[in-house]
Structure formats: C-alpha cells, structure tokens
Structure 1
Amino acid sequence: MPPPSNTTTQPEAVLEELLVQQLSTLGYAKVYLPDEAALFANLKQQLEKHNDLVLSEREFLRVLNHLDKGNVFDRSRTLRDHMQLDRDDGTVAYLQFLNTEHWCQNEYQVTNQISQEGRYANRYDVTLLINGLPLVQIELKRRGMEMKEAFNQINRYQKHSFRAARGLFQYVQIFVISNGVNTKYYANNRRQEFKQTFYWTDADNKLITRLEDFAEAFLEKCHLSKMICKYIVQHNTHKVLMVLRPYQYYAVEAIIDRVKNSRKNGYIWHTTGSGKTLTSFKAAQVLKKLPEVDKVVFVVDRKDLDYQTTREFNEFSKGSVDGTENTSTLVRQFADDTDLIVTTIQKLNTAISGRRYEQRMTHLRDKRVIFIFDECHRSQFGDTHRRIVDFFRGAQLFGFTGTPIFAENAYSGPGGKQTTVTLFEKCLHKYVITNAIKDENVLKFSIEYVGRYRNKENGNDVSLDIDVEAIDTRELLDDERRLKKIVDWIIANHGRKTHDRKFTAIFAVSSVDNLIRYYDLFRERDTAGLRIATIFSYRANEPDKAADGMIGEPDFDDDGPADSHTRDRLEEYIGHYNEQYGTAFTTRDSAKFYSYYKDIGRRIKDRERDNALDRDRVDILLVVNMFLTGFDAKLVNTLYVDKNLRYHGLVQAFSRTNRIIGEVKSQGNIVSFRNLKGATDEAIALFSNPEAKEEILVEPYEVYIERFDEALNELLAIAPNPEAVDRLYSEEEQLAFVQAFRKLIRIDNVLSGFSNYTEDEVAIDSQTFEDFKSKYLDIRDKVRSDHSVEKVSILNDVDFEVELIHRDQINVSYIIRLLATLHTATKPEERQAARQEIDNRLSNEVQLRSKRELIEKFIDRELPKVRKDADMEQEFENYMSGEKQRAIVALAQEENLEERGLQQLINSAVYTGRTASQADVQDIMLVPPRILNRSTILSRIQSRLQQLLEQFYDD
C-alpha cells in the first residue's frame, strides 16, 4: 500500500525529478551539466550538431567571445542573428544560434542543478537548453510556498550569478516559476514586478496552473520555441524583453489563420487594459511578412492614438512604423514599399473619398491590404467602413475592442443600428474583464457612491448632507452648494484615495460649464495645493454628452465657430498650467492645442518612469470627455465621476483606473457623485455576464474589516505582542511572522482606500501596529545587511513589500521640525516627548531607517553645540553634507575606487533614479578585480553604493 501523498509539503526535489522525467518524454534529451566546464563543452557539441560542422578549440573560443557581450537585451539580438566565424583554415562560416523561421528544427535538452559561482554559490533547479544555450529557467518551490518567493529567487540569481560562465544565463528568454499547484511564466526582464508574471491558458481562457499540465501545454518543445522565436517582443526604447500572454497569443494566431485560409473579416474582443497595442503590433508584424499580404494598415481614430500608437509600435521595433503626418504622406506610403502604415481614420477617409488622390490610389483596389482597427467600437466608424470596403475590393478587416457594440448599446444611423458583428462578421477571440481580473492582468474596481444614495451592495455610500427635497434633479445636479460639497470632499479625501498623491486621479464631469465651475472652486477652496489640470473642447454648441451617458471624441480642430467664453476660460487655465510646469501652450491654433493635450498625457504617463520628478506630477485631471478612452497610465488609480455614464462609455471610463502596477495599487477607485449603480450593473452584464459583479467589484468595506481581524488573530497567535517577536529565534518562526504581518498590511492597504476607515474599526491600536512594523523592518534590515556567502537565508527571497507602509509625509523635513522642537523645548517632559516621537519615526518609517544612525549621531553629538536661535534646517544640512563626503571618501578608499568617478556615478544615479551597473562600477575601480571573484566584489560595491544613496539622497 503506497504512503498517503502530502500535496501541501511536496519537496522541491520531488517536483524537480518528476518534471525532468516528463520533459524527457516530451522530446528533451536529459543531460548532466554539473559545472561551468560541462556547460561550455555541451554548448560546443550542440552548436556543432545544429550547424553541421566541427569547431576547433580556438574557433569555439571566438564563439564564446562573441556570445559574451552586452546585457540581456543585446544578447537576445545576438541569439537571433548569425555569427560570421573566421575559421582556422581561412574560410568563413555563418553560425546560427537559433532557427527562428523553422522553430521546431532546433536541438532540445533538459538539465537540473547547474551550479554557478557568483556572489553566492547557486544551484538552478531545471534548465531548458536550445542548441546548448540556456533559454528557459524553471525555479520550483515546495507546495504551499508563495510563488513570489520563486520570483524573488530568480531576481537574486540575476543579481548574484547569472553573469558567471561568460553570462550564458543572460540568454534566458523565459522564466517559469511553480510550486506544483500554480505555475507562471514571464520574460527575462529585471524591470518587471511579480504582477507581470502570467498563467498559461487554453484558447477558451481556462487556466492551466498545475506544473504537469503546464509542461504538457507550454513546455512542449515546438510550442516553447515558437513562443521564443515568434512571440518574444524586444521593447526597443526600454531595452527589455516582453512575452505575449496567452490570450494575446491566441488572438494573433486566430488572425493569421483567418488571413491564410480565408478573405473574411474578424474582430478581437479583449477587455480594456489587456494590452491590445502589443497584440495588434505582433499581429501586424507577423502579417506583413506573409507573401500573400501586400500591405498592413493600422487605423486609429484620434490624433492622440495616432501619436501614441506610432510611438509604442516603434518602441517594440525601432523604425517599424512611419506615422503619417498628412494625407499626402499617407497616399505616398500606399504607393511605395512601406509595408506597415499607422494612420487615422480621418486621413484614410480623405485618401479614398476625394478625387485629388484617386489616380494614385487606384492601383490598390484589388491588392491584398489588411486593415487593423484599434478600438473598433468607435461611433463614427460605420460610414468609413463602407467606403473602405467599396474602395479596397481585396481588403480584409480586423478590429480590436474592449467594449463591442451590441444591439443594446448600438448607435442608430442612416442604415439602422450597426454592431461590431455586422461590421466585422465574427469574434475570433474573446477575453473579457472577468478573465483579466481572474488572471490578475487588471484590477477590480472599488465603487464608492458619495451623495444621498443608500445602496450597500457593492461599495460604500457617504452622504453629502445636502437638503434637496424641493429641488428637481437637474437643478440639484448643477446646484452651487452641491458642487462646493463635492470639491470639499475631494480635497479632504484625495490623499487617502491616491496614497498621498502617489497616483493621479481623473475627474469626469457632465459639461464644460460645470467643468469651469469645478475648476474655479478648486482654485478658490483648495488649501492643500492640489495640482489641477484640465482640457476640454471649446467649439460652439457642444452637445451635452451627459444626456445619454456615452463618451464623445476630442476635437483638436478650431476652424469652426468657437464659444469665446469657454475658449477664454481654457486659455486662462492653460496659463495656470504654463506657470505650474514652465510650458508655453495656447489655444490659438490647433497644433499648439494638440501639443497641450499630448503634454498632459505625457506628464501623467511618465510618472511611471524611474527618473520621474515629483514637481511634474498632475494630481487631478478635470475633463468632460477627453482621456476617458484610449488613455493608459498605470499611475492613475482614481476616477471621480459627476456625469452620467452607460454601457461601453462607463466601462471605458472606469478602466482608466485598473492598470496593474506594484502592490500599493490594489484596486481602481471609482468615486461616483451620481447614482450609477443601475448603469454599472447593466454594463457589467453586457460586457461579461449578469453574475460577474462579485468578480469585477471589490467586496464591501465590512468584508475587509472581517479579513483584517482574522489576519490580526493569525499574527497574534505567532507573536502576542511586539516584544514577542524578539523571541522568535529560528528563521522559520521569523518567516511566519513576516508572512502574517505582510498579510495584515496588504488588507490595511485596501482598507485605507475607503473614506470612512478609522483606527476604531479594527482591534489593534496605532501604536501597537507601529511597534509590530518596527520589528518587521528590523528583520528586513538584518536580511539586507547580511553579506555572508556561506548560507543563503530562507528570508532572502521574501518580498517585504515595504511600499505598503511607506508614508511620503514622514520625511527628513518632518524630522528636522521635530529636532527644532527638541532643541528649543524648555521642559523635560517636552524634550522627552519630542525625542520619543523622533525615535518612533526612525524605527517605523521605511524611508528614515537608513538615516537613523546619522540622525541619532546628530542628536547626541552635534545638537548640544547648536545655538537656540540657529536655523535647524541649515545646521542639519551642513552636518549631512560633511557626513556624506566622509562616506564617499571611505567607500572609495575601502573598495579601491576612483573618488571622482564614484561621485559621477552617484550624481548619475540621483539624476536618473537608477543604480549603477556592475560594468559602471568596474570602470571606476583602480585595480580590476580577478575573474574568479569579480561578481562577488562588484555586487558588494553595488550594495554599499545603494545604501549610501538611501542614507544621503533618498528623502
């Protein structure tokens, strides 16, 4: 009788052994590569086999030198290129490292426990080699362990040892992480976070999570090499690799199949926020290479998308798109050898409608032209669709949409109601919002109704306490008292909703008139210094879109009649924007107005960049229709709504908030000052299913209070009080505490977004919570400061998620104010209280812990020397400046670095927001390190440099 299985504690070794056995049955040759020498010898054999030649040792050394260049991005290009090899006999051979055209015709191997010496001695779990190069790395954790720990383990390998063995492991294209029950994959991109890891699915979006099933579906050698050869995207601007998610893969495959095997049209229904631009780019990239296709035309229907899509396409592949500036350019591109064109619906319509271009366009009538339409739900698409079909008799049309047009939400035109199906015939692949939320590709929405609404089903309701019994609905909505109450509510709660302004909010209002009133009220009533930007159309007689809840399109042309009042007000508001950000925009012509539109979008979107400056942020963008569709910015997390929204207009607007970025952004916040519950239910039912509300909307406030209490009980069972944490001596006990407290702060992060959340609602007082936080951070600091190479702690791969307990308002300036209070206090109890507050902040605030020793030294040694009437800020700055210079000199001397070069590295890191690479560090070393311990030394210097930056530059 076999022993009972214990699936919750199945060890990694068993998972590893079973996986290797399974891969052997899938066509991978099992190979034993215990060390670097074996890895090189195997690479030589596999390249010889794949290229049908024999390499001498000298020739193979040239190959290794060729491979050992550049970073991960550079090597991904080397992998896909041929190498011109000068043979010993004077002849030339061309070596192929990967057959990308016939991806199944490569050599496949599997190995495990490859040992690499870097900063630590690391042993990798399972490695898949193609033509001898490690292209897929699989890391396993025992069942019950968090997947995130495997992700962090790979990050540690990247930092410590992937550069060893001539950096062959920097050729890895795809990582796979699994604990047996759950399995995910992702591209080799160190800039991404755990939330950018993906489950694989079947074509119907059914998750394939078990390791055995994942190996059968995804790691099958032809499919895996197809993903590497065809569906890895090299992002040229950021110099990183991206890999398609399963629904993107199935969509592209469906379009290719449709083109190869029919002349019929089709559309892709992928929910807003699911990465349609990347999908459409990859589809266009593949289609333009097909011999039966003459041209691929990507069509958008707004200038901002023309600009944005051209930029993003060229980021995926530099120079792949020549965006058309005018119709003449478009016509010329139709006539020349440009195989991929990005243009707007308006310019395309002009090119095929007027006689001016008819002669130059006629030769295309019967050509195989593939049109890909971005956001094909747009209202004006119907008329142009008919013109395209009439003009391009050989055209094949494909549309992408997150919110299709059905009979329920269709616009009525001259030819009756047009739906997505009547225009594009068939849905080729569907991935709706419930799929995306389940896969953790977008966030749920938290809807809070603020006003005289009493529905508690999904979200919170807060009364504005306005007595409106005798006022009709329209009069109420425009009532000055109501608008003031709303502005005051936003000012009071904006910090809570956006995590101390880390995120941007969009405020959608019903009309230009109300927008003007709101803007003026913010200027009049805001004492918190919120940065408000706005943009709206100033054309005359603009219809009130609030009447039907649909979102109109922005208008950048000013050649028609304009409402002088609204235009003057917008010019005034743009003046405020210019003063705030040092710009020079105006409404005086459409080009400058369009530039203003682009600058707002760039300013909000660029907050995602490492080197983004806080002074460039926009806190609230006030709009009527603009930016509510087609605008993606991960650091938008809140939508304030004071307008009617329905169907696709509602889903599109809500979806501005639910892009995933980091742990702090746990949901998209919707604050509605109108009762949109019925419209929300209708939209959810239309674009997913009637029962999907629980999957799309976060649970009510009361549920998270219950979860907090449950998590608190779990924490107290491990450590009944903060002092008990000091008695958790084993790493296993400390790990249990870290995981329990991390669970608590995750729930607290969600709760903090509810406007009525207070300390009284939960069973732990703020001081005890802060004390637990201090113990939590003590453990983190101990792990970070331990540079021992003998043993890797089990805490090394735990993500402490300190961003969840980071508070921007508690910074060095805050401490300086406390220092001034401490210094000038005359009573002992006042001094004691100030010192206690300083000690608490230094222990509990993440951004101050690195400075704790310096600040305590200032208090003990320098503060007694400071005059009572001195400028404390200047005194502290002088002290820190001296300590900083001493620290830089000490680091340079102890690590044998060129002092001036070190200062330049520090200046560069402060400016760009990025730490120095190992190559940068090596360049300033006075004595180059030996190869054997180079990685260890460079990693140590990087770590010390990062600590110095945190101490003296990170406020």
Structure 2
Amino acid sequence: MSVQSEAQLEAALVKRLEGLGWQAVSIPDSAALASNLQTQLETHNGLKFSPGEFRTILNHLEKGNVFDKAKTLRDRFALQRDDGTTAWIEFFNKTEWCRNRYQVTTQVTQEGAYKNRYDVTLLVNGLPLIQIELKRRGIELREAFNQINRYQRHSYGAGNALFQYVQLFVISNGVNTKYYANNRNQDFKQTFYWAEEDNEPIKSLDKFADGFLEKCFVSKMIAKYIVLHESDKNLMVLRPYQYYAVERILDRVMKGRKNGYIWHTTGSGKTLTSFKAAQVVIENPKVDKVVFVVDRADLDYQTTKEFNFFSPGSVDGTDNTNQLVRQLSGETKLIVTTIQKLNTAITRERHEKALQDVKDQRVVFIFDECHRSQFGDTHRNIVAFFTKAQLFGFTGTPILKENAVGKQTTRKLFDEPLHKYVITDAIRDENVLRFSVEYWGKLRRKDGSLIGDEEVASLDLKGFFEDDRRIGNVVDWVIQNHDRKTHQRQFSAIMCVGSVEALTKYYEAFKSRKEAGLHDLKVATIFTFAANEEDAEANGLIDEADVTGGPVNIQTQHSRDKLASYVSDYNAMFGTNNSVKDGKAFYVYYKGLAKRMKWRDKKDFVPEKGIDILLVVNMFLTGFDAKTCNTLYVDKNLRYHGLIQAFSRTNRILGQVKSQGNVVCFRNLKEKVDDAIALFSNRDASDQILIEPYQVHVDQFNKAAMDLFQIAATPNAVDKLESEEDILAFVRAFRELMRIRNVLSTFAEFSAEDLVLDPQRFEDYKSKYLDIHDRVKANNDDDLKASIVDEVDFELELIRRDNINVAYILTLLASMSSGDADEAEDAEAKQKAVLDLLGSEPRLRSKRELIEEFISSYLPKSKSEEETIETFWQFWKQKQTEAFETLCSEEDLDPDRFNGLLEAFQFSNKAPLTDEVLQAVRTQPGILTRKSVAERIIAKMVSFLERFQEGLGE
C-alpha cells in the first residue's frame, strides 16, 4: 500500500471541510484574494462598494502588523462613502460567531521576497483567518512549522498583506495535527494538540477537522478564546484544557451560584485561564461584578497589567484600601485586587456603610491561587459579607485530605473540581518539562545504609544540617557544578534552605569564597524577618511569604540587620539603591528581585545584570515564574504541595536547550518526592515525571552514536553522502546525539570518557552538520525544486556556545604572535583549533572567511599580541566599511539614512518597516516591487549585522 501523498491529504481535507459547511473556492493569487474579499464583505454587510470605496477598505486593512490587524479584524470600520454617508463595515462577527461566511481554498500563491504557495487556507468573510500547512505522513510536524515561519518572513506581507490576518495556524501530517496562534515569537514547543474534555489528545487530521475546524467552533475560538496580549503585542490562543475550564466556569455561572475550582498543574498557564474566565464572565448581564483576587506578591505581574488593558482602571494597585472600596461601591465591573486588601475592606467597620449596596449584588470571585494557606479566613469573611458571592479557584496543587494541615480542603471551600489537568497530562502534552532530580549528601548509617525520610524527620538534626563544614561542602559543590546545571549560565537557579540561620551561613559561605576568587556567581537573597521562619521545617510545607518583611521588633532585629547588609551587597553588585528599612522598602526590593530574575526571559537581557542564584527560605517558591530558571538547589524539608510547587519553579517550557527542570536535593527527599507525585498524579507516575538516571542517557547516547556510524563512519564520510535521504538520515541522527548530549551535560557526574564518541570527533561531525545547514539555508526559494532536507529544524541552539565569540578567537590568535621556534608546534595547534572553531560554532560561520583571510594575510606579520589585536580590529573595520559601501551601491541606498536604519535595527532588534527602508533608497521602486525590494534590503541588513556586529564579545 502506497503512502498517502501531500496532495491526496490536501484533497481529502478539503472534501471533509466541504462536508462541514466550508464552500470550496479557487483563489490562485493576491488579485483573486482581493476580488473575493470584496464580494464576501459586500454580502456580509449587505452593501455594494465602488472601486474607490473598496480601495479605502483595502488601505485600512493593510495598515499595521499582525497584532494591529487582529484588532482591526474585531473592530468595525467607518467607511466614508462616495455619496457622503458613513457605513460601518464589519469584518468578523465576534458576538454571533456562526453568522459569518466560510470558504476554503488551496495553493494560493503570494510573491514577496520569494514566491510561496500555501496549502489550505480557510477564509472567513473573505479574510484568510486559518492557514493549514500539510506534510505527507512520516514527515516531522516541525517541518511544517518551519515552513510557516519562512512564509511569514518571505511573503505574508506581500500584496495587500491580507495573510497577516491569519489568527490560527494548523500543521499536520495526517497522523499528528497541532494548532497555534499567529505569534512570530514562539517556538515549536508552543504548538498544541486539541483534546477531548478528559485531556485525551486528538491527533489525526480527520478528527481534528471534525471537532476544531467545524465552522462555528473555530469561529468561537477566534471570537472568544484568542487573547490579544497587549504587553507583548502578540496573539495567544487557549489550549484545550484552558478552554474547557473557562467553559465550565461560564456554564456554572449561567446555571446558578454554586462554587467550583480548577485543578490545573503548576506551570500550565492558570493565570491566563483565569484572566480569560474573568473576561468571559463579565459579559454575563446577570453578573454585577467580577473580582479577580491575587496574592500581594503577584499583583505587579504582567497578567494584571493585561486586565488594565482589557478594562482600564480595573487593577487596584495602590496600598490604600479606600481605592478598593470605591471600586466595589462604584461602577467598576471588573476589579483586580489582593487577597489581603479584600479581607481588610470587608472586615473593617469603617467601610461597612460604603459597601452596603454591593453586599447583595451578584459578585463572582476568581482566585488565581486557591491553595494558599491563609485563604481559609478570607473565605469565611467573603461568604459572610457577600450574600450572593460565587467563588472559583485555580490551583495546581489542591489541598486534599492527605496534605491538609487542618480539616479544611480545597473541595470543602470551593465544592467540586470543574476540570482537572494534572502534571502527567502536562508532561505528555509537552506543556511543562519533566524533572531531573539528583540526591547528594544523603544521610547514611555507619553500615552504609540510607536513613529514611521518616527517620530523619524524627531526629534532631538541625545542628547537623546547619553545621558550617556541611554548608561549606554544599556551597563548594554548587560552585563546581552550577555552570553545568545552567548551561553556562544561560539559566538561573533558586536555592532554598531550612531557616534564616542556615541562609545566613550559606550567604556568608558564598561571599567568602567569592572574595577569595573561587567563583564569580552573582548571589542575592531575601527572607522575612520572622524569628520562627524555620518552623515550617516541621511539616515540610511552604508558608505564605510576607512581602513586607514581617514585624520589626527586638526578636527580629538581628535577621533584619543581616538582610540589610546583604541588600547593600546587592546594591554594590548592580548599582541600585534598595533598602529594607520598612515594609514598603522591603516590597520594592522584593519586586526588584523578581524583575531581575525574570529579565533573562527578555531579549534585552544583559548577563552582567542577572542573578545567578537566588537564596531563599520560603519566598519565590510558589507563584513565581521565570522561564529561564532551570535549577533548584534544595537543602530544606519539602513535602506534598510544597514540594511540587518548589520543584515547579524549574520546569517551564523554553526552547530546545532547556530539556528538563534540574532539582538537586541535599537531603533525603526521595520518599517525599514519590509521595507528592502519587498524590498529584498517581502512584505509578514517577517514570513520566522524572527523567531517567545518568547511565540510561549514556546508553542512549552510545546507541545513537552507533546508529550515526552506520550512516557515516567518519566525519569525512558525510561529504560522500549523495542522496537526500542519506543526508536527511545523517541530520536526524546527529540531531538526536545533540539532544541526548544536551541532557547528559547537566548531570554532575557527566564525563566524556563514558561516551563512545570523543569530544573532538563530535566537533568534527558537528562541522559537517553545520555545512549541510548552511547549504540548506542558502536555498529557501519555494520556486526551486523542493528538498526533503529544506525544512528540518537543525536546533542550532543546542550547540551554540555564547562564550566562543570573536573576542575569544582573537585571544587565541594573539597568543600565536611572536612565537619562537620552540613554540611553532604549539602555534600550529592553536591555529588548527581556531579553524576548527570557525567550522563548528554556528555564530562564527558567517565570519569564517574574514577571519581566515586575516590569519593568512596579516597574522604572520604580527610581532606581538598588542599588534595582533590592533591590526585585527583595523582589518575588521576596513572590511565592515567595504561591505557597507558595497551594500549601498548594490541597492542604491543613501549611506547616512541606511546607517541610521542599521543602528536602530541593532538597538531595538526590530526590523524596520517597508516605508522606513524605502526612505533610504535613492531611486524609488515601482509600487508592485516595493515590498520585495524592502524585504531584500532587510535580509541583507540581517546578514551584515550577523557578520560584523553579533557575537563579537567584549
């Protein structure tokens, strides 16, 4: 039986969509797309447009980027008609979403920088809102994802840029099907399977089409469940479990006033779900107010800013409870406030009169984290005060009878769970990462047997755990292994310890070793002033952190003074002016730490300004999310929801390098880990949640290496691979090696001697791998014969080393200067090392020709290191000037204006707009070639900056 071709898959899908109510239509190119749009908009709006009126509409639709166009789609346009009247044009009916017009077309051709043909396009009222890219069975989905990325770069902005109205992308090879929002900043890991309500994934294209692509359902997704994220200016679409959660809440609000809670595992996007739930519930005319309740520590997080974009004035960001009272008693329908301030408002007599009217109104409360320990009192107060309150909670770690400290459980407070999505679901769907848990410093008896967790808990081991020598040994271990754990500090770490006393010892140990020159890690800390913070050790759960620092009195003065001195170190390290003189200053410092820890997540991150290790007792172990935190060092008793919450600081999805969340335990927590996994998933889930031990990965690597040798026995044998199938097999085999090695490299016991492929041969194979990548990258024109290697994701981030840059190469070159005869052999070895690096480092390959030219033409003449360095930068500047002049000449550019474009591009990392580029062009191109000319110049700008400006180093 032959494999279904891509064309057959496409034809079968179109036939299925026709059965679902989509009308098949032929639209070969941009002109036909615009013509069809006019017809569809006229019918949808019950109007006829003159040529001039439709040009006005097209001009309106063409403005802005993808985010701007998403707003345009949802708004009406005031069209000034030829007769002087105004007509309001609707592009998409978002309130009665089934009352739109639906068409399906295939193989639309757009010509931008390259000519591209798109597989299946779903048009709503003539606008392309869903784009489907197909691959034949057996081809990776990632290849369809990469193809869409190429289309976005090359041709979606061509013509009238109507393809920038795409809201959802669907990628499928027939067997596997995923969807995602039109957001250029995401990677393949942010694509999703649709699923049944019980979280069973729907993978086949047929079933996905029947459910998700049914015309009313997909319209509903676009109308209600795509979030326009104002802070980041991008689109986000809800995942299936988020959709079901919001729908269940909405259904419960429609049918009565019963409460409920959503159990969605930590890291699965609960805050986005609760935000969308608040948006949807507030549209219900029977609801008077929606109050979104967060903890004080979370108020400044980005999602609360999104509420203000959605409903201006909704976020109560002041310290004054009177502001909340005014919101509750006034016209504000959506309110975002803290649990602490809400409790104050409804329990103080002075506010009772002002809140008299709202007491009997229908108020829906949505709690972002309902597992928090102090919620019990507030819950009782809310129910007692608001006669028609309806409460919904979100939690990743509910309080069940097994992990309840008292008698209260999440179910008793909120009634039944409305939807569950536990950690095993999230790991299966690749929405969170698995954990790599290593145990070091385990307690043993004299006979060598391990002391169990329960036995440890029964012993008075405070003195042992806080012994200076033991803490010193742990700090030395962290210093030795931190770079390995964090991939050379691409990521950060949190270290949690058992008490403030232990924390001060840890901090002083890190500090003394830094002063001795033993490390250069940036360690910061924060803790509350409470004298008995270590009492949490008794039950292994995480108490609520007081972000005002706690009481200042004689009992807490010592710890407060200690923290003040550590904040002084922080100020000296980062040039800040923080203090902990009072609760307000403490909160400012807390927010500053949170922002600095999250800064790594952003493109403008500067490594020198980041925290490497944040040292805490309880703070930052719940609720805090930083995607670039990948490691947790644990010297603290943890159990149940406290353990899962703390571990989950490390397992947010982020690219290929972050393959798992690293947890290093310096206590015997194995039994506690197993118990927590059993409670929040099931007893047999450890293999799904924890990655395999070191030796398993070694065995996997060695097997993958043997598979590679079968394809190409030596690196040079790669050059002899002729068929595309063989080349593709090599790419996939070496990519698998990279993936396994990426995981292996984080283990403390990692040794290259355990692997059958030694480091030098790995580098040699890597050079061949990059050669193939460069050839593929040079051929992205869809008009050329398609190559099966073209769309493979080479995952270069797995092998990129930011510390290997031009400055590093120059250091090697300088050390080769003025050597005598005895050093000739060493210089030759260094030169070979340089040439090898130029071939094996992705960031250096664009600079390879230049550096090789310098080595051959200038290096032999240099007589000293200083002369080599000076000559190199003169050479580099000369070559940059020549390349700049050549580019200006080829594209007929004004040098001053073009230089301004380059500087702005380099500063903002945002490509200039078409009009901005064309302002630098001396001879203006025709209207039909404007976009393609601009895109070609931008591509050359990227290449120029990549070669001469990026990856230089200090």
| TM-score, normalising length: structure 2 | 0.95
The corresponding residue for 2:578 is 585
Structure 1 residue identity aligned to 2:469 = R
Are 2:882 and 1:889 equivalent residues in the alignment?
no
Query: Does the 8 Å contact 2:272/2:303 carry over to 1?
Result: no
Superposed displacement of residue 472, structure 1: 6.8
Q: Percent of aligned positions with the same letter in both sequences?
A: 56
Q: Which deviates more from structure 2 when the two are superposed, residues 312-321 or residues 234-243?
A: 312-321
In 2, the alpha carbon distance for the partners of 1:696 and 1:126 equals: 37
Superposed displacement of residue 438, structure 1: 0.6
In 2, the alpha carbon distance for the partners of 1:180 and 1:654 equals: 37
In 1, the alpha carbon distance for the partners of 2:412 and 2:276 equals: 26
The corresponding residue for 2:904 is 908
Structure 2 residue identity aligned to 1:331 = V
Structure 2 residue identity aligned to 1:487 = V
Query: Does the 8 Å contact 2:529/2:549 carry over to 1?
Result: no
In 1, the alpha carbon distance for the partners of 2:696 and 2:58 equals: 58
In 1, the alpha carbon distance for the partners of 2:688 and 2:713 equals: 35
Structure 1 residue identity aligned to 2:579 = T
Query: Residue 139 and residue 367 in structure 1: after superposition, are their counterparts in 2 closer, same or farther (change >3 A)?
Result: same
Deviations 1:166-205 (A, max 9, x none): 0010000000000111100000011111111011001110
Are 2:490 and 1:497 equivalent residues in the alignment?
no
Deviations 1:528-572 (A, max 9, x none): 301111111123343432221111122215554252222122111
Structure 1 residue identity aligned to 2:529 = Y
Query: Does the 8 Å contact 1:812/1:848 carry over to 2?
Result: yes
Q: Which deviates more from structure 2 when the two are superposed, residues 11-20 or residues 553-562?
A: 553-562
CA RMSD of aligned residues (A): 2.1
Are 2:394 and 1:406 equivalent residues in the alignment?
no
Correspondence list, 1:45-444, <5 A:
45-305=39-299, 308-314=302-308, 321-412=315-406, 417-444=407-434
Superposed displacement of residue 878, structure 1: 3.2
Query: Does the 8 Å contact 1:233/1:316 carry over to 2?
Result: no
Are 2:545 and 1:551 equivalent residues in the alignment?
no
The corresponding residue for 2:728 is 735
Q: Which deviates more from structure 2 when the two are superposed, residues 902-911 or residues 294-303?
A: 902-911
Partner SS for 2:221? helix
Query: Does the 8 Å contact 1:610/1:914 carry over to 2?
Result: no
Query: Does the 8 Å contact 1:372/1:399 carry over to 2?
Result: yes
Query: Residue 315 and residue 70 in structure 1: after superposition, are their counterparts in 2 closer, same or farther (change >3 A)?
Result: same
Deviations 1:772-823 (A, max 9, x none): 1001111112222347674154433222111100123322222122112211
Superposed displacement of residue 215, structure 1: 0.4
Superposed displacement of residue 475, structure 1: 3.1
In 1, the alpha carbon distance for the partners of 2:769 and 2:912 equals: 28
Superposed displacement of residue 319, structure 1: 5.8
Structure 1 residue identity aligned to 2:23 = A
Superposed displacement of residue 638, structure 1: 0.3
Structure 1 residue identity aligned to 2:757 = I
Superposed displacement of residue 390, structure 1: 0.7
Query: Does the 8 Å contact 2:137/2:175 carry over to 1?
Result: yes
Correspondence list, 1:456-467, <5 A:
none
Are 2:606 and 1:613 equivalent residues in the alignment?
yes
In 2, the alpha carbon distance for the partners of 1:874 and 1:583 equals: 36
Query: Residue 945 and residue 787 in structure 1: after superposition, are their counterparts in 2 closer, same or farther (change >3 A)?
Result: farther
Is there any run of 5+ residues in structure 2 with no aligned partner, and where? none
Partner SS for 2:648? helix
The corresponding residue for 1:26 is 20
Superposed displacement of residue 948, structure 1: 1.7
The corresponding residue for 2:689 is 696
Structure 1 residue identity aligned to 2:577 = A
Structure 2 residue identity aligned to 1:518 = Y
The corresponding residue for 1:458 is none
Structure 2 residue identity aligned to 1:764 = L
The corresponding residue for 2:838 is 842
Query: Does the 8 Å contact 1:138/1:177 carry over to 2?
Result: yes
Partner SS for 1:630? coil
Deviations 1:678-726 (A, max 9, x none): 1111111111111111111111222212221222222222211111111
Query: Does the 8 Å contact 1:300/1:306 carry over to 2?
Result: no
In 2, the alpha carbon distance for the partners of 1:757 and 1:786 equals: 38
Superposed displacement of residue 890, structure 1: 2.2
Superposed displacement of residue 306, structure 1: 5.3
Correspondence list, 1:382-781, <5 A:
382-412=376-406, 417-452=407-442, 473-526=461-514, 527-555=518-546, 556-561=548-553, 563-781=556-774
In 2, the alpha carbon distance for the partners of 1:279 and 1:201 equals: 16
In 2, the alpha carbon distance for the partners of 1:941 and 1:400 equals: 49
Q: 2:929 aligns with which of 922, 930, 933?
A: 933
Q: Which deviates more from structure 2 when the two are superposed, residues 713-722 or residues 102-111?
A: 713-722
Deviations 1:199-244 (A, max 9, x none): 1001110100000000011000110000001111111121111111
Partner SS for 2:356? helix
Superposed displacement of residue 919, structure 1: 4.6
Query: Residue 117 and residue 452 in structure 1: after superposition, are their counterparts in 2 closer, same or farther (change >3 A)?
Result: same
Query: Residue 755 and residue 318 in structure 1: after superposition, are their counterparts in 2 closer, same or farther (change >3 A)?
Result: farther
The corresponding residue for 1:809 is 803
Query: Does the 8 Å contact 1:639/1:671 carry over to 2?
Result: yes
In 1, the alpha carbon distance for the partners of 2:552 and 2:443 equals: 42
Superposed displacement of residue 307, structure 1: 5.0
Superposed displacement of residue 920, structure 1: 3.9
Superposed displacement of residue 918, structure 1: 4.3
Are 2:853 and 1:857 equivalent residues in the alignment?
yes
Query: Residue 789 and residue 426 in structure 1: after superposition, are their counterparts in 2 closer, same or farther (change >3 A)?
Result: closer
Query: Residue 317 and residue 894 in structure 1: after superposition, are their counterparts in 2 closer, same or farther (change >3 A)?
Result: farther
Structure 2 residue identity aligned to 1:745 = M
Superposed displacement of residue 735, structure 1: 2.2
Partner SS for 1:839? helix
| TM-score, normalising length: structure 1 | 0.95
Query: Residue 755 and residue 884 in structure 1: after superposition, are their counterparts in 2 closer, same or farther (change >3 A)?
Result: same
Q: Give the number of aligned pairs.
A: 934
Structure 2 residue identity aligned to 1:139 = E
Is there any run of 5+ residues in structure 1 with no aligned partner, and where? 456-460
Superposed displacement of residue 746, structure 1: 0.8
Query: Does the 8 Å contact 1:186/1:197 carry over to 2?
Result: yes
In 2, the alpha carbon distance for the partners of 1:453 and 1:940 equals: 64
In 2, the alpha carbon distance for the partners of 1:780 and 1:319 equals: 51
Superposed displacement of residue 51, structure 1: 0.9
Query: Residue 95 and residue 400 in structure 1: after superposition, are their counterparts in 2 closer, same or farther (change >3 A)?
Result: same
Q: Which deviates more from structure 2 when the two are superposed, residues 860-869 or residues 270-279?
A: 860-869
In 1, the alpha carbon distance for the partners of 2:829 and 2:470 equals: 43
Superposed displacement of residue 445, structure 1: 0.4
Structure 2 residue identity aligned to 1:279 = T
Structure 2 residue identity aligned to 1:546 = E
Deviations 1:60-110 (A, max 9, x none): 222111111111111111111111112222222111110000000111111
In 1, the alpha carbon distance for the partners of 2:386 and 2:401 equals: 28
In 1, the alpha carbon distance for the partners of 2:931 and 2:88 equals: 32
In 2, the alpha carbon distance for the partners of 1:557 and 1:719 equals: 61
Superposed displacement of residue 374, structure 1: 1.4
Query: Does the 8 Å contact 2:311/2:334 carry over to 1?
Result: no
